[in-house]
Amino acid sequence: MKKLNVGLIGYKFMGRAHSNAWIKAPLFFDTPSKPILKVACGRHEESLKEFAQKWGWEETEVDWKKLITRQDIDIIDIALPQHLHYEIAIAAAKEGKHIFCEKPMAMNLKQAEEMLKVCEDNKVTHYLNHNYRRVPAIALAKNIIESGHLGTIFHWRGAYLQDWIVDPEFPLTWQLQKETAQAGPQWDLNSHSVDLAQYLIGDIKSVSCLTSNFIKERPLAVESSSGNLSAEAKEGERGEVTVEDAALMMVEFENGAIGSFEASRFATGRRNHNTFEIYGSKGSLIFDLENMNELLFYSNEDPQGMQGFRKILATDATHPYVKNWWPAGHTIGYEHTFIHAVVDFLDAIAENKTIEPNFKDGIKTLQVLEAGLLSAQTGQRVNLKK
């Protein structure tokens, strides 16, 4: 089996999720190549070495520019905050490395368009990790829609809600500053929701948006021993929150459907509530990430008196990805979506084909998100440019 050496840049939350995926993918799936955990890269040598030893990375590197120029590295995995994606992706593509990149894709549409162009010019495989596409229940939803079981789609209703900054004394981390995050939940959370909506329903053509800031100022964050901003606040020092705390979008799809997107970090009691509802002329679908193995399906074609939402447990071998896991009824979790992404990414490299979502899809998502921010600023509906 061919081996592909992976260079991972970033070793926190996403670094762990990605490492697990690179390890598990060839163990459960017949991948065309074996990913080798070659080099883990980060700024802080001591904590980086601890991470690498724990997860089995062969080497460490503190300078990402040195990593991407290595001739023995085939894949660059960008598991970093969005303000760091652009420069690394551009440089990696110019070195001919295949790119596995976290979302949101970039800080703005201009950056994203350049990232795509350089990848296409250098003929490298590029993947944007909107991992929820690879939840088996969501992949099943795609199959149901494409099979015509919902008929004409009328409505998309999406919400992605969290509550981790409800406390006004939660510190000013990088996610709350425009220079490092670009925007708040409109960028971070709605990027996932918009990607799913365009995957399942179709392209969006116009956007109206409202945003709000509930807490204008927060304590500065203490820098941890690893050099990262922690959730610990500095005494007496405060700074301005420069991104929105919540966003509401209304959209019109190219196919005539209409939709809504709600994204907030102030939904008390919601840790990571990602849900959508799709309503059509013949049926409907409901998904909730908190019950990620389940899909609710309603069909007008059921007999009168027996109609109602049925729960499909998407754990049968006939459901996407599931045959490589456990017997029916044995559920899988969040981490499996990353493994599925790695499997499809390795297949795309081997077959020299595109994988979705990729940077083209990322551009389509950023077009919607930027239009939403512009709409919130101007108070006007924004039509997306073709």
pLDDT above 90 covers what percent of the chain?
95
Average pLDDT, the chain: 96
Is it the case that residue 273 has pLDDT exceeding 80? yes
Question: What is the amino acid identity at position 157?
Answer: R
- What pLDDT was estimated at residue 222? 86
Q: Cis omega before residue 171 (within 30°)? A: no
Binned at pLDDT 50, 70 and 90, residue 385 comes out as: confident
Binned at pLDDT 50, 70 and 90, residue 1 comes out as: confident
CA neighbor of 144 nearest in space, from 96, 183, 182, 201: 201
Segment 1-23 mean pLDDT = 97
CA neighbor of 374 nearest in space, from 361, 358, 385, 359: 385
Fold adopted by 2-132: Rossmann fold (3.40.50)
Segment 41-57 mean pLDDT = 97
Is it the case that residue 94 has pLDDT exceeding 70? yes
Instruction: Give the tens place of pLDDT for each residue, 112-124.
Output: 999 999 999 999 9
* Dihedral sign, Cα of residue 132, residue 137, residue 143, residue 148: negative
Domain residue ranges of the chain, discontinuous segments joined by + = 2-132, 133-333+364-378
Question: Tokens 């919400």, residue?
Answer: 159
Segment 10-15 mean pLDDT = 96
Show Cβ contacts of residue 304 under 8 Å, excluding neighbours closer than 6 positions. Answer: none
Segment 80-95 mean pLDDT = 98
Homologous superfamily (CATH) for 133-333+364-378: Dihydrodipicolinate Reductase; domain 2 (3.30.360.10)
Give the side-chain half-sphere CA count within 13 A for 136: 26
* Dihedral sign, Cα of residue 136, residue 142, residue 145, residue 146: negative
Is it the case that residue 211 has pLDDT exceeding 70? yes
Is it the case that residue 227 has pLDDT exceeding 60? no
